[in-house]
Amino acid sequence: MAERGVAVSEAAVGRRRVLLAAPRSFCAGVERAIDVVELALQRYGRPVYVRRQIVHNTHVVRDLESKGAVFVGELEDVPDGAVVVLAAHGVAPAVREQATRRSLLTIDATCPLVAKVHREARRYADAGYAIVLVGHADHEEIVGTVGEAPDDIAVVTSLDDVIDLRVPDDRRVAYLTQTTLATDETGQVVEALRARFAELEGPAADDICYATQNRQDAVRLLAAECDLILVVGSRNSSNSNRLVEVSRRAGCPAHLIEDESEIDPSWIDGAATIGLTAGASAPEAIVQRVVDALAPDEVVERHLVGESVHFTLPPEVR
């Protein structure tokens, strides 16, 4: 790691400035999910099982594993009667039912903003609407939401999907969205849905979470000043990938990196101003390691907006 950092710091000629996006890194939902696992370990002892990655970040998962968390793919891998935490992305009702049948002590770390989308899905399905869910079909958040009303939900990702969409009644259609999408692209899809379904219903408040939107807006702010933007986050982190896309659409080259070891010196050769941000599931400590590896002459924080959101912990760990 250190050797790579030295190589990177010598890769470009001349002065280098790093602009840090603010806000960046953990959101309230991620902080809550991590706290749930750590508090469960303190209260119930080792091991505490976690279904899937608690959040989509390799460093977070490894750190929790070192403290006694055991990550599993499905509940079949959890011993009867054990403590299990459900990840921040949410699960289908069938998963909770399985946990009850297995007598598992279940702690739900679903982000409250994802839980809001689940409630909206149930409400629209109960009212007889066909639900169009905008998102990536293979993402855990979408899989969990579809599980709330599998016969009533169609997943769309692109404008082409909207064209091909078939619903039982054009007058009874509602839309919901994944919380970690790019706001500009999602807006285009929703507008296409509105153009096709004149009586389209939607949530009272945007499903895309405040943290996702704030981090994307901060990247747009940086893009105008930077030669390159680096986004700290894991490959399977939807919101981190969207930050890369937002930067590129704004005309600034961008790369997703797990940590400082993935910086390619050719990216920063000649880059006088490098923007740096992190997805909502990426630790701030990794951001600081990337700053050290870049060895800038100046570090400046570009502050867009403050965040003061906090979510209540589940009763099992309060």
Q: What does the block give as tokens for 140?
A: 């855990």
Contacts of 138 (CB under 8 A, 6+ apart): none
Classified as helix, coil or strand, 44 is helix
Report which DSSP code applies to 282.
S
Q: In what order do the strands lie in the sheet with 130-134?
A: 153-156, 130-134, 173-177
Residues 276, 300 contacting (CB under 8 angstroms):
no
Q: Is 225 among the residues known to form the active site?
A: no
Within 8 A by CB and 6+ apart from 99, the residues are: 75, 84, 86, 106
Nearest to 38 by CA among 100, 83, 94, 101: 83
Phi-psi region of 14 (alpha: psi -120 to 50; beta: other; left: phi over 0): left
User: How far from the centroid of its chain's Cα atoms is residue 40's Cα?
Assistant: 23
Give dist(CA 278, CA 259) in Å, integer. 10
Active-site option among 120, 141, 148, 260: 141
Q: How far apart are CA 111 and CA 56, in angstroms?
A: 13
Task: Let me know: does 124 contact 174? Beta carbons within 8 Å.
Answer: yes
CB 133 within 8 A of CB 165: no
Q: How many CA atoms lie within 13 A of 210 on its CB side?
A: 17
The residues annotated as belonging to the active site are 141
